[in-house]
Every structure is written in structure tokens, then in C-alpha cells.
């Protein structure tokens, strides 16, 4: 079974803090993704990576950056957290872009 894990289920941070969200997959998948999910807006793609050290912006990259130093790990960084970044963050991975993505359990981030 594919396993995608995220470092925290719940996180509370203060405005202005630098926040790291970690995602690890154990199936040697090439592609990894970060989404945020908000009520009424569905899932929106923040960034994705199709190879180590490669990254591409999704639909809403502003205020975020990512890092992929190893194939199995994809990190989402909030350089200076703001209250409008309070959300559920979901990581996903897939072997190939046309196959199903496998999702982690999500991190519910609250920025106060």
C-alpha cells in the first residue's frame, strides 16, 4: 500500500513565523503535490514537483515555497505565516501524472 505521511495533523503558529510542513511518501513516486483545502473553495494546488530539486508553481503559490532535496520528501514552507494561510494542507504523490494521486492525512494549520 502507498503511504503518504505528513509531519503534523494539527499545528498552531503565530503570524510572522516561518512554518515547515513535511510530507514523505514510501512508493518511489516521481510527482509530489501540495494542496490547500478551504470550505467552499475545494482543493487548490500550491506547488508540485516532478523530480528531485524540480518544482513548479500551482494555482496559488504566493506566500509559499517548497523544497525537494530527496525523492521521497516534499516540504512546504510558509516564509512568514499570515492568518489567511489558516487552512487544511494536503500532500499527495503519484507515480505518473496521469495516474491517481495518493494523499496524506492532512495538516490543519491555524495561524493566530
Partner 1 sequence: AQKVTQAQTEISVVEKEDVTLDCVYETRDTTYYLFWYKQPPSGELVFLIRRNSFDEQNEISGRYSWNFQKSTSSFNFTITASQVVDSAVYFCALVFYGGSQGNLIFGKGTKLSVKP
Q: Which residues bind partner 1 (CB under 8 A)?
A: 31, 33, 40-43, 45, 48, 50, 56, 58, 88, 90, 92, 94, 96-106, 108
Cβ count near 85 (within 10 Å): 18
Q: Least separation, in Å, of the C-beta of 31 and partner 1?
A: 6
Q: Please identify, using beta-carbon distances, which residue of 92 and 111 lies nearer to partner 1.
A: 92
Closer residue to partner 1 (CB): 81 or 90: 90
Q: Considering the complex, what minimum distance in angstroms separates the CB of residue 101 from partner 1?
A: 6
Contact 54, 68 (CB under 8 A): yes
- DSSP-derived secondary structure for 69-98: EETTEEEEEESS--GGG-EEEEEEEESSTT
Closest distance of CB 43 from partner 1, Å: 5
CB of 29 or CB of 75, closer to partner 1? 29
Rg of the chain (C-alpha set): 13
Nearest-angstrom CA–CA distance, 92 and 83: 24
Amino acid at each position: 500500500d502507498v503511504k503518504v505521511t505528513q509531519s503534523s495533523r494539527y499545528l498552531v503558529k503565530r503570524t510572522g513565523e516561518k512554518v515547515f510542513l513535511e510530507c514523505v511518501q514510501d512508493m518511489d513516486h516521481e510527482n509530489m503535490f501540495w494542496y490547500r483545502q478551504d470550505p467552499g473553495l475545494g482543493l487548490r494546488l500550491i506547488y508540485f514537483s516532478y523530480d528531485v530539486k524540480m518544482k513548479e508553481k500551482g494555482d496559488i503559490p504566493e506566500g509559499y515555497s517548497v523544497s525537494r532535496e530527496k525523492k521521497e520528501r516534499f516540504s512546504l514552507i510558509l516564509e512568514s505565516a499570515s492568518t489567511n494561510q489558516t487552512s487544511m494542507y494536503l500532500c499527495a504523490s503519484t507515480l505518473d501524472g496521469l495516474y491517481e494521486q495518493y494523499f496524506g492525512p492532512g495538516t490543519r494549520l491555524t495561524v493566530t
